[in-house]
Amino acid sequence: MDKAEMAQNDKIKDREIGLDVNFATSAGTPASFQAPSIVAAQSPDKTTLDKIQGAIHLAGIGGIGMSALARLLLAQGFKVSGSDKQSSEITQELEQSGAVIHYGHKAENLKNAGALIISTAIQKGNPELDEALRLNIPVFHRSELLNFLSRDQKLIAVTGTHGKTTTSAMVGQTLLDCGFDPSVVVGGIFDRIKANSYHGKGQYFVAESDESDGTHASATPHIALITNIEPDHLENYPGGFEQIMKSMEVFVDRTTGFAVICREDKGCLDLLRRLEARPQTRMVTYGTDAQCSYRLVDLGGKSFEVWQGERLLGQVDLIVPGFHNKLNALSALAIALELGADFTSARAAIGSFAGVDRRFQLIGKKAGITIVDDYAHHPTEVIALLKAARQHAADARVVCVFQPHQPGRLRDLWNEFVGAFNDCDEVIILDIYIARGGAIEGIDSARFVQALQQNARHPNASHLAGSIQSVAETMAPRLKPGDLVLTVGAGDVTRLGPLLLQNIQNDR
């Protein structure tokens, strides 16, 4: 290595960590919130993305979040390139739409790039990030790209520990069907737009705003929707739950219109109390208590009544199961009604919502066995999923196959996870899926199963180690006609359902 290369490497090492974000409130007062250090390296000499010469290159373009942004860039006429580990249906669709996609992360992939877009998962040592820094190619976090894409529309930003994808899709579908023609970005494919993003020509832009890495606090929403607030992603919040709460205060304070907040959630109630002294943002609340701006009365099954103050607006009948989805639907109705939609149209829109991929998604049925896939990877999500499954399954045996996602989450929420599976008849734990970082000594699936076995509800909990293929081969003979099998988690457990269907014999 010559001196010039060594000097360049030293410059890369010395780059500051963080986002180009001024965390000031809408009133202009600096917020007492320190954003997590989420971006491994920041490029100097950034310019606005509309002045970039060359392609906008997205690292990990095949991911559900990055691909949604790539679709919008293409719809707005930008040159797009990207890279991913392997070809997929998503990358093939993007290629057909005009994106240039490279397989494998390599420095030469940036040959024609004018800017690099990264997620929090991309860190120093990634060859594309290192090459961008070496060549002084501007580097943007994906949250900055989202803010840019929504620049000419009013942002409806949906955040919270759980339910962001489903709720964003519900809001998007309701506004689409009520004639608002918003742009939409969600973390999953849903039937109304047959994709994970849509380029609308109306004045609103509906998007998930990711709280996992603190970047939601860089958004400037017109409408801020918060579904719930709980401890999660604590590796990005060294200040713990208090830092998460302060990030939510900033998120609301930066809102230019109004905030929609769930009164059914303890964290959201705490946030509302904190915000009482700062009346600059109008609050619209939803839930089941009489103080809510929009209140639901549960009618059982998939139905509920909607009340606005003392006025009954009418009954809503959903396709998707679970009380949590009634709350999600109510928040979407609240936004639509606040924007001037009539209740009859909004009710019809939300009543036709059929769900999002990986959210209680039916994979198939064979030999009387039903397979459903779900993204739940936090204890609260697992509890809500199993309650919905129990409601859906009636007297069927509910078999939950859970793949823990990240050792740190399992460690931080150990007791909560142990108590999360009470609504299933059998629980099977797979090996921990490690998306980033490494293993943690003493935190493994075998030990977790021992803790589940000590819970009187699950003395027969089991651990199936090995590949997803081997798990499918082992599990299939154990299943019985009438079973509802849930494949649950944020990792590659989503591959299990189709493999189970292949391995289940019809003659049982």
CATH architecture of the domain covering 3-141: 3-Layer(aba) Sandwich (3.40)
Query: How far is residue 126's CA from residue 106's CA, in Å, rounded to a whole number?
Result: 8
Please list the residue range(s) of the chain that carry CATH number 3.90.190.20. Answer: 361-503
**Which residue out of 128, 131, 144, 208 is catalytically annotated?**
208
Is 108 known to be catalytic? no
Is 165 known to be catalytic? yes
**Which residue out of 159, 161, 165, 281 is catalytically annotated?**
165
Superfamily of domain 150-351 in CATH is: Mur-like, catalytic domain (3.40.1190.10)
CB burial class (10 A; 0-12, 13-18, 19+) of residue 344? exposed
CATH class for the domain made up of 361-503: alpha beta
Please list the residue range(s) of the chain that carry CATH number 3.40.1190.10. Answer: 150-351
Residue of 384, 472, 387, 379 whose CA lies nearest to 428: 472
Q: Which helix (H) or strand (E) holds 246?
A: helix 240-253
Look up the pTM and report it: 0.79
Query: How far is residue 376's CA from residue 408's CA, in Å, rounded to a whole number?
Result: 16
Please list the residue range(s) of the chain that carry CATH number 3.40.50.720. Answer: 3-141
If you write DSSP's letter for every residue of 54-84 in order, what string do you get? SEEEEETTTSHHHHHHHHHHHHTT--EEEEE
Is 208 known to be catalytic? yes
Q: How many CB atoms lie within 10 A of CB 418?
A: 18
Residue of 321, 335, 467, 492 whose CA lies nearest to 405: 492
The label of the residue with tokens 């740190």 reads: 408
**Would you write out the chain's pLDDT as a tens digit for each of its 508 residues?**
333 333 333 333 333 223 333 333 333 333 444 544 444 344 445 567 888 889 999 999 999 899 999 999 999 999 999 999 889 889 999 999 999 999 999 999 999 999 999 988 888 889 999 999 999 999 999 999 999 999 999 999 999 998 899 999 999 999 999 999 999 999 888 889 999 999 999 999 999 998 888 889 888 999 999 999 998 887 878 888 999 999 999 999 999 999 999 999 999 999 999 998 777 789 999 999 999 999 999 999 999 999 999 999 999 999 988 899 999 999 999 999 999 999 999 999 999 998 888 888 889 999 999 999 998 998 988 998 999 898 888 788 999 999 999 999 999 999 999 999 999 999 999 999 998 788 999 999 999 999 999 876 788 899 999 999 999 999 999 999 999 999 999 889 999 999 999 999 875 5
The label of the residue with tokens 């780059």 reads: 15
**Which residue out of 79, 154, 164, 246 is catalytically annotated?**
164
